[in-house]
Amino acid sequence: MNVDLHCHTNLSDGSLAPKELIKLAIEREIDVLAITDHDNIDCYSQIAPPTDELTLISGIEFSTTWRNIGVHIVGLNMDLNNAELLKGIEFQTLARQKRAQLIDEKLNKLGIKGSLEGAKRFCSGQQVGRPHFAQYLVEIGAVSNFQQAFKRYLGAGKAGDIKQQWASLGEVINWIRGAGGVAVLAHPTKYKMTRTKLCLLLENFIELGGEAMEVISGSQTVSETQSMARLCKQYNLLASRGSDFHAPGQPWAALGMASELPADLVPVWSKWS
């Protein structure tokens, strides 16, 4: 079964409209899909009910922090009408707006003017993110490419790396669980933590109600998969799989093309299938 439980539309920082993403998912013969836009569920109001070709699971990717490190928590199979979830999304939306303003102020001090208004031109939804600022920086010639924008201005430790406004890890997990969903630690290999620190994160995540982790996130090495699988088993977590797709032409995050979960793990979709 081809399952992709982590991808993005242009209503956060992806490039495809929701209907275009669904079309691509069907072309890729994906059986089960969750769209996990950052801190919003707007895409689900633009998508027709699932067909026999595809099962659509509700999803979201919340931003939060752990020990001042930015981490992401995916919520899966939630009641999208749940009042607490909607309050949480509203909180995160306001936090994103505040963050965008702070990024604009930081870049302005570095001599880059009008970055927020510029970033908004690249945003299809309500939420302006760092990728939209990156596109503006490329447009005005402040950097030569998207990667350079993060390396110089928006990545970890740079002017645009602002984390403190997010809801806490516990609050995010509570929103997901309160809506009947499963909280999943997203792409753990991307946090560049030591093994010891990642174990501490997982222990805290579990204490707060987290139930699953992404063992597969896009294209990764066999050794990375084996390492994440061992952690998944060690902590008795459910295993998730996703591409973290944002745009066509990115083979490291191709929709529906991530490798299969190791056979000895319990997949997160066993919770609802």
Residues sharing a CB contact under 8 Å with residue 130, sequence separation 6 or more, in sequence order: 13, 103, 150, 154, 160
Residue 231 inside a domain? The answer is: yes
Both 73 and 27 in one domain: the answer is yes
3-state secondary structure of 266: coil
Is 258 among the domain residues? Answer: yes
Report the C-alpha gap between 135 and 118 in whole angstroms.
9
Among 154, 178, 209, where does a domain finish? 154
Q: Which of 54, 80, 76 is nearest to 267 (CA)?
A: 76
**pLDDT above 90 for 32:** yes
Which of 74, 18, 29, 75 has the alpha carbon at shortest distance from 55? Answer: 29
Q: Are 113 and 183 found together in one domain? A: no
Q: Please tell me whether residues 68 and 103 are part of one structural domain.
A: no
| Average pLDDT of span 50-79 | 93
- pLDDT confidence bin for 162, thresholds 50/70/90: confident
Parallel, antiparallel, or unpaired for β 55-57 and 32-34? parallel
- For residues 230 and 258, state if they share a domain: yes
Ordered alpha helix ranges (H), the chain: 18-27, 83-109, 115-120, 130-139, 146-149, 169-178, 195-207, 222-234
Q: Are residues 99 and 180 in the same domain?
A: no
Are 171 and 245 in the same domain?
yes
* Residue 55: CATH number of its domain: 3.20.20.140
Sign of the four-CA dihedral 224, 229, 230, 231: positive
- What pLDDT band is residue 128 in, cutting at 50, 70 and 90? confident
Range of 110's domain?
89-154
Q: Residues of the chain with pLDDT > 90: what percent?
A: 84
**0.85 cut: is pTM over it?**
yes
Q: Does residue 161 belong to any structural domain of this protein?
A: no
Q: Which of 106, 132, 154 is the last residue of a domain?
A: 154
Inside any domain, residue 159: no
Q: Is residue 160 in a domain?
A: no
Q: Residue 126 pLDDT > 90, yes or no?
A: no
Residues 78 and 184 occupy one common structural domain: yes
pLDDT category at 108 given cuts 50, 70, 90 is very high
Residues 129 and 175 in one domain: no
> 72 with 93, same domain?
no
How far apart, in whole angstroms, are the C-alpha atoms of residue 257 and residue 245?
A: 10
Three-state DSSP class for 68? coil
pLDDT at 18: 95
pLDDT by residue (tens digit) across 189-240?
A: 999 899 999 999 999 999 999 999 999 999 999 999 999 999 999 999 999 9
Using the predicted structure, report yes or no on whether residue 150 has a pLDDT greater than 80.
yes
**What does the pLDDT average to over 160-167?**
83
For the domain that residue 144 is a member of, what is the CATH number? 1.10.150.650
The tally of domains found in the chain comes to: 2
